[in-house]
Amino acid sequence: MFTTEPAKTVFQPPRRSGVVKSSEHPRAKKVVGIVVTQVVVILGVLLSIFPFYWLVVMSTNTTAAIFGFPPTLTFGSHLFANIANVFANIDLLRALLNTLIVSLACAVLVMFFDSLAAFTFAKYKFPLQKPLFALLLVTFMIPAQLSLVPNFVIMAHLGWVGSLQALIVPGAANAFGIFLLRQLATGAIPDELIESARMDGAGFFRTYWTVAIPLLRGGLAFLGIFTFIGAWNDYVWPLIVLVNPQQQTLQVALSQLNSVYGTDYGMVMAGALMSVLPLIGVFLIGSRHFIANIAAGAVKG
Amino acid sequence: MTVATERVEVRPPATGDPAPRKKGSALSRFWPQYLAISPFYLLFAVFGLFPILFSLFISFHDWDGVGKMTWVGLSQYVYLVGDPRFWNAVGNTFIIWFLSTVPMLFLALLLAFTLHQNIRFKGLYRVAFFLPNVTSMVAMAIVFGSVFSDSFGLVNSALTALHLDSVPWLTSDWGIKVTISVMVIWRWTGYNAIIFLAGLQAISEDVYDAAKVDGAPAWRIFSQITMPLLRPVILFAVITSTIGGLGLFTEPQVLLGDAGGPNEAGMTMVLYQYNQAFTNFDFGYGSAIGWALFIISGVFAIINWRLISERNENGRFSMRRTRVHH
């Protein structure tokens, strides 16, 4: 973004089209433009992060203080008391552990199966390759809600209702990741490298492991974080299939805490805070890479 | 923004020797490849394809998920067509979709254009804008529920402090829809802004330079270059927000409960399906609703697609629209 005029001015005309005649004061207009820009962006940032600030405010105050008039707008000192209340009412550690297991398992399995399929589709020719890939794209169009009821019945027959594999297994491979990594693999893995691996006597899976995986690292990291976040936040399916109150994910446990103890805002908010903090951590670690990938995917797709 | 020209179709059969023509040997020759792609197709067969057919089968039955299935033919669908609660949910879903998508796209474009300028801390801003999108909607629905709470919420406290009437955000028909829409807008504006920004950055400087050499006025560059080149990205945003909007569930369920709040004003299509299938244990009707959702979403997607691609052909509908907003 070091280039100067053209790109920046392009979108401004509409905004200032009403004052086109006053072009005798380009500098003044420029200053106004910069101020307006900054105000818009900073307002956007404030609105984006305000609910997080408010979440912290509420989880550090007593319910009475939150509900007072005027309400408390600053951090209080009741965070630990509120957290202790959460632990007294629900098995938050268990829910956290369950969520961690499901999210990690989904992320690792998706990274493995999707990259394997993506590498194969990108670099090998085999009978039925094209129709199989087309089928993969068609599956994008099937809405998840169509299979909520039958999948519950399937899980019941498998004896998986109430257990974590009901969350892990169906999500162990997906069309999105295969599609994404295939795009990447086509350009990122030179055919010569595959050829020379073959000359060295490496079989298909060895080539995948030693040649493809290292070259797909960036895409894999993105897919892993993306899957982890998605699994962490998944709500409707765990709500349906985890029927045992003792065996919950964070989102479902939090929702139950809210519906049962909804009047104790301080405590519920402390629970909510603990459910979002780990995820925000994961996001912040990979944020630059993550955002760039999301944006690039949308622009190319 | 890497350019897609890398994807030249050089794909020699890396497995080596020229493929023998015999079909029977395909599996033995290419078994590693088939094995490598098989997990997705196996999972799809079990948890994707089979459930679709199975749900059609269930929808022709009366079934509580435990007892005996009774064949009822099309009567679930007949009931659905005349079910006011279902159509209420359909209406609610579309109203919320509209209330959230239109402001969201406008705000996202505005943010993208401002971020596209040479401002400082751009990376930091992008993280802040993206944060809502990765955060659990359950937690945030609880937060929004308290912010918009009728009696003690922050918004109503502010209104009262300004000597304005407080609004029954969580108990009135429109209040509920607006609150849910605000949550959707909050969650997706930054996401779409970052995608629009990437779209803006992907437009080559050469295009602008060429236009400038030709002496095109700035508004013309905007309307005939920037917006048309941005259209695919806007289309992407419209499609994702349609998919998300018609599948809306977490926000109303956490905010208002399984019944969608007073008067079912926050009952969405998926929430109604959940309500029928998993709180009433009416699996047959729940499956029929699932198919109705599928058809409604399909028709809506086709309408959306046709509208946008027609605009695409005869020029500049969407750019004109965006220009009006500025």
Continuous H helices in chain A: 5-10, 12-16, 26-59, 63-66, 79-89, 92-123, 129-138, 148-158, 165-168, 175-188, 191-199, 204-207, 213-215, 217-233, 236-241, 250-260, 265-300
Residue B54 domain flag: yes
Q: What does the pLDDT look like over A236-281, one tens digit per residue?
A: 999 999 988 888 999 999 999 998 887 788 899 999 999 999 999 8
Contact B274 A54 (CB under 8 A): no
Q: What is the pTM of this model?
A: 0.86
Clarify whether residues A56 and A96 are in a common domain: no
Side chain identity, residue A192: E
- Half-sphere exposure for A168 (CA within 13 Å, toward CB): 17
| Tokens describing residue A232 | 């962490």
Judge if A48 and A189 occupy the same domain. Answer: no
Q: How far is residue B89's CA from residue B85's CA, in Å, rounded to a whole number?
A: 6
Q: Please tell me the total count of domains within chain B.
A: 2
Who wins on pLDDT, B309 or A103? Answer: A103
Are the C-beta atoms of residues B231 and B305 closer than 8 Å to each other?
Answer: no
Residue in this structure with the two tokens 């820009």, named with its chain if needed: A37
Question: Does the beta-carbon distance from B286 to A126 stay under 8 Å?
Answer: no
Q: Do B136 and A250 touch (CB under 8 A)?
A: yes
As given in the structure block, the two tokens for residue A254 are 């939090």
Helix/strand/coil percent split, chain B, to 5: 75, 0, 25
Of B303 and B55, the structure prediction assigns the larger pLDDT to B55
Chain B, 291-310: which have a CB under 8 Å from a chain A CB?
Answer: 291, 293-294, 297
Task: Check whether residue B27 and residue B124 sit in a common domain.
Answer: no
- State whether B177 and B80 are in the same domain: yes
User: Where residue B311 falls among pLDDT bands split at 50, 70, 90?
Assistant: low
Task: Give the CA count within 13 Å in the CB-facing half-sphere of A69.
Answer: 10
Whether residue A129 sits in one domain with residue A50: no
Same-domain check for residues B203 and B312: yes
Q: CB distance from B18 to chain A under 8 Å?
A: no
Instruction: Tell me whether residue B27 is in a domain.
Output: yes
Q: What is the pLDDT of residue A18?
A: 42
B325 confidence band (pLDDT: 50, 70, 90): very low
Distance (Å, whole) CA B161 – CA A238: 41
Is pLDDT of A137 > 70? yes
A161 and A255 within one domain: yes
Residues B279 and B318 in one domain: yes
Count of residues making up chain A: 301
Query: Closest partner residue to A299 among B113, B202, B250, by Cβ?
Result: B202
User: Cα separation of A76 and A270, whole Å?
Assistant: 12
d(CA B46, CA B49): 6
Query: Which H, E and C letters describe B72-133, residue by residue?
Result: CCCHHHHHHHCCHHHHHHHHHHHHHHHHHHHHHHHHHHHHHHHHCCCCCCHHHHHHHHHHHH
| B89 lies within 8 A of chain A by CB | no
Q: Are residues A49 and A197 in the same domain?
A: no
Q: Which two tokens stand for residue B241?
A: 């927000």
Residue among B6, B34, B37 with most chain A CBs within 10 A, to mutate: B37
Q: What is the pLDDT of residue A270?
A: 94
Instruction: Name the nearest CA neighbour of A101 among A168, A47, A36.
Output: A168
**Which residues are within 8 A (CB) of B190 and not within 5 positions of it... i.e. 6 or more apart?**
A44, A48, B108, B111, B128, B129, B130, B131, B132, B133
Cα–Cα distance between B11 and B7 in angstroms, integer? 10
Q: Which of A61-70, A99-108, B199-208, B274-283 has the lowest mean pLDDT?
A: A61-70
pLDDT of residue B124: 87
Residue A266 placed within a domain? no
**Residue A252: inside a domain:** yes
Structural domain including B51 reads 23-59
Q: Are the Cβ atoms of A124 and B11 closer than 8 angstroms? A: yes
Contact check, Cβ <8 Å, A198/B273: no
DSSP A21: G
Q: Which residue has the higher pLDDT, B208 or A107?
A: A107
Cα A155–A160–A161 angle (5° rounding)?
A: 75
Q: Is residue A24 part of a domain?
A: yes
Interface of B with A in 204-233 (CB under 8 A): 205, 208-209, 212, 217-219, 221-223, 225-226, 232-233
Q: Which residues contact B146 (CB under 8 A, 6 or more apart)?
A: A54, A58, A66, A265, A269, B152, B153, B154
A153 pLDDT more than 90 = yes
- Check if the beta carbon of residue B203 is closer than 8 Å to that of residue B139: no
> Has residue B65 been placed in a domain?
no
Tally of structural domains, chain A: 2
The answer to whether residue A289 is domain-embedded is: no
| Look-up of token digits 């029928």 | B276
Number of A to B CB contacts under 8 A, please give it: 341
The answer on A239 and A124 residing in a single domain is: yes
Q: Are residues B49 and B123 in the same domain?
A: no
In a domain, B83, yes or no: yes
User: Does A31 share its domain with A129?
Assistant: no
- CA torsion sign for B227, B228, B233, B239 is positive
Q: What count of other Cβ atoms lies within 10 Å of the Cβ of residue B246?
A: 22
Q: Measuring CA to CA, how many Å separate B113 from each of A157, B205, B225, B228?
A: 53, 16, 14, 15
Among candidates B270, B271, B254, B263, which has minimal Cα distance to B168? Answer: B263
Residues near B112 by Cβ (< 8 Å), separated by ≥ 6? B192, B193, B194, B196, B197, B199, B200
Query: Is residue A55 a part of any domain in this protein?
Result: yes
The answer to whether B132 and A54 are in contact (CB under 8 A) is no
Q: Highest mean pLDDT range out of A96-105, B236-245, B308-317? A: A96-105
B241 and B132 co-located in one domain: yes
Is A246 strand, coil or helix? coil
Closest by CA to A52, choosing from B144, B145, B185, B255, is B144
Residues of A in contact with B132 (CB under 8 A): 48, 51
* Beta-carbon separation of A124 and B15 below 8 A: yes
- Residues B148, B117, single domain; the answer is yes
Per-residue pLDDT, B313: 52
3-class DSSP assignment, residue A191? helix
User: Which residues in chain B have Cβ-Cβ distances shorter than 8 Å to A44?
Assistant: 107, 111, 125, 128-129, 189-190, 193
Say if residues B234 and B196 touch (Cβ distance below 8 Å).
yes
Q: What is the ipTM of this complex?
A: 0.85
Give the separation between CA B133 and CA B268, rounded to whole angstroms.
21
In a domain, B276, yes or no: yes
- In the predicted structure, residue A136 carries a pLDDT above the cut 50: yes
Specify whether B96 is located in the same domain as B236. yes
Q: How confident is the model at residue B302 (pLDDT cuts 50, 70, 90)?
A: confident
Question: Domain of A238: which CATH number?
Answer: 1.10.3720.10
CA angle B233-B299-B280, nearest 5°? 110
Closest partner CB to B48 (pick from A142, A287, A298): A142
Q: Is residue A253 part of a domain?
A: yes
Tell me what the pLDDT averaged over chain A comes to: 86
| Per-residue pLDDT tens digits for A38-60 | 888 999 999 999 999 999 999 99
Of residues B113 and B272, the one with the higher pLDDT is B272
- Shortest CA gap A194–chain B (Å): 7
Q: Would B15 be classed as within a structural domain?
A: no
Q: How many helices (H) and strands (E) does chain B have?
A: 16, 2
Taking CB atoms and an 8 Å cutoff, what residues of chain B touch A251?
136, 138
Residue B163 near chain A (CB below 8 Å)? no
Chain-chain contact of A284 with B273 (C-beta, under 8 angstroms): no
Residue A65 belongs to what domain range? 5-77
Same domain as A126, residue A53: no
* Amino acid (1-letter code) at residue B161: A
Rg over alpha carbons for chain B, rounded to the nearest Å, is 25
A228 touches chain B (CB under 8 A): no
Residue A287 falls within a domain, yes or no?
Answer: no
Q: Let me know whether B254 and B219 are in one domain.
A: yes
- Give the residue-averaged pLDDT of A106-120: 97
Per-residue pLDDT at B16: 45
CATH code, B245: 1.10.3720.10
How many C-beta atoms lie closer than 10 Å to residue A1's C-beta? 11
Which residues on neighbouring strands pair with residue B70, listed in sequence order? B62
Query: Is there a domain that residue B7 lies in?
Result: no
> C-alpha angle A228/A232/A233, rounded to 5°?
120
- Same domain? B81 vs B42: no
Mean pLDDT of A180-199: 91
Answer yes or no: do A50 and A125 share one domain. no
Instruction: Supply the pLDDT for residue A301.
Output: 54
On whether residue B66 sits in a domain, the answer given is no
- Cα gap A132→A142, rounded to integer Å: 16
Residue B19 burial (C-beta neighbours within 10 Å; 0-12, 13-18, 19+)? middle
Peptide bond connecting B51 to the previous residue in cis, omega within 30 degrees of 0: no
Comparing CA positions, the residue from B226, B298, B291, B239 lying closest to residue B81 is B291
CB-based contact B179:B251 (threshold 8 Å):
no
How far away is chain B from the Cα of A116, in angstroms, using its nearest Cα?
A: 6
Instruction: Please list every residue in chain B whose beta carbon sits closer than 8 Å to the beta carbon of residue A301.
Output: 236
The Cα–Cα gap between B100 and B84 comes to 24
Question: Minimal CA–CA distance to A93: which of A282, A271, A288, A284?
Answer: A271
Residues A272, A54 contacting (CB under 8 angstroms) = no
> 124-183 in A: which are within 8 Å (CB) of B?
124-127, 132, 135-136, 139, 142-154, 156, 169-170, 172-175, 178, 183
- DSSP secondary structure letter of residue B21: S
- B299 and B152 in a common domain: yes
- Average pLDDT over chain B reads 85
| A26-35, B47-56, B183-192, B197-206, range with the lowest pLDDT | A26-35
- Do residues A209 and A152 both lie within one domain? yes
Domain identity same for B36 and B175? no
Taking the Cβ of residue B40 and every Cβ of chain A, the question of whether any pair is shorter than 8 Å is answered with: yes
Contact criterion met (CB below 8 Å) for B36 and A132: no
Indicate whether A235 and A161 sit together in one domain. Answer: yes
